[in-house]
Amino acid sequence: MRLDQFVATSSGLSRKEAKRAISAGRVRVHGAVFKSANSQVPENAEVTMGDEALTLPGSLYLMMNKPAGVISANNDSSQPTAVDLLPPELARQVHIAGRLDKDTTGLLLLTSDGQWSHQVTSPRRDCPKTYRVTLAEPLDEHACQALEQGVELNGEEKPTLPAQVLLRSATEIELTIREGRYHQVKRMLAAVGNHVMALHRQSVGDIVLDQTLAPGQYRSLTAQEIESVGEPG
């Protein structure tokens, strides 16, 4: 990690302020003054600023209420990303655990812990994901039964795993799936002759989107939410 990033992350300073502190000779690594912001900090190095020892915070675990119109990526030269909605010093540390389509809203998980991220996204974990789905047409009983039994998606030989369907209204359902195939929810509804008008992810496993978060807002996960996925790294 670059020295200016280390100082900014561990002290709460902006990257610009961290560079000023470094160039002013206020930062030491193993007791030696380092004035180059792009110096690499060795693992387990003792870094001080003035009389204060600097240490990196623990792993980060966040939930965001993803708005429509942003992509699930850390950076993109042509489109706004979900990570762009975070403060820069935070955005540099996290990645997305389980992507959402550009037009899909709702629960997005972000973390700096690669092992935890793998637990969220691994097909072996059988992690349920619940979506609120707004449909173009009412879902009839036959289509509902098909979803609950598993449907064949266009271009794939293996049918989907059985889903759980909860009818909220004639054209709104809650759909719980245990896979993560490409555009799966939209393709499942297309397979039963319907069309998804809006898609909102409500939960991943035992982690439920905080209803107090407005679109684009985020918060740290609780210890219980983190541990519900598996042991953090």
- Top CATH class of 3-54 equals alpha beta
CA distance 109 to 132: 17
Domain segments of the chain: what residues? 3-54, 61-119+210-229, 128-204
pLDDT of residue 123: 77
Q: Give the mean pLDDT of 202-207.
A: 96
Tell me whether residue 190 is exposed, middle or buried, using C-beta atoms within 10 angstroms of its C-beta: 0 to 12, 13 to 18, 19 or more: middle
Task: Give residue 230's pLDDT band: very low, low, confident or very high (50, 70, 90).
Answer: low
Evaluate whether 62 touches 109 at the Cβ level (below 8 Å).
Answer: yes
Pick the CATH number of 128-204 from 3.40.50.300, 3.10.20.310, 3.30.70.1560, 1.10.540.10: 3.30.70.1560
pLDDT at 233 over 70: no
**Topology of the domain comprising 61-119+210-229:** Alpha-Beta Plaits (3.30.70)
pLDDT digits (tens, 9 = 90+) for 103-123: 999 999 999 888 899 889 887
Q: Dihedral of CA 134/140/142/144: which sign?
A: positive
Q: How confident is the model at residue 2 (pLDDT cuts 50, 70, 90)?
A: confident
Q: Which residue has the higher pLDDT, 229 or 3?
A: 3
Give the model confidence (pLDDT) of 125-136 as tens digits: 778 999 999 999
- Per DSSP bridges, beta strands 105-111 and 196-204 are parallel
Please indicate whether the domains covering 61-119+210-229 and 128-204 agree at the CATH topology level: yes
Task: State how far the Cα of 213 lies from the Cα of 219, in Å rounded to an integer.
Answer: 8
- pLDDT-above-70 percentage for the chain: 98
Q: Which of 51, 76, 84, 101 is catalytic?
A: 101
CA separation for the pair 57, 9 (Å, rounded):
8
Is residue 199 scored above 90 in pLDDT? Answer: yes
> Looking at residue 123, what DSSP letter applies?
G
Cβ neighbours of residue 169 closer than 8 Å, sequence gap 6 or more: none
In this prediction, residue 168 has a pLDDT band, given cuts at 50, 70 and 90, of very high
**116 φ/ψ angles, rounded to the nearest 5 degrees:** -65, -40
101 flagged as catalytic: yes
- Phi then psi dihedrals of residue 143, to 5 deg: -65, -40
Let me know the angle formed at the C-alpha of 82 by 12 and 220, rounded to the nearest 5 degrees.
50
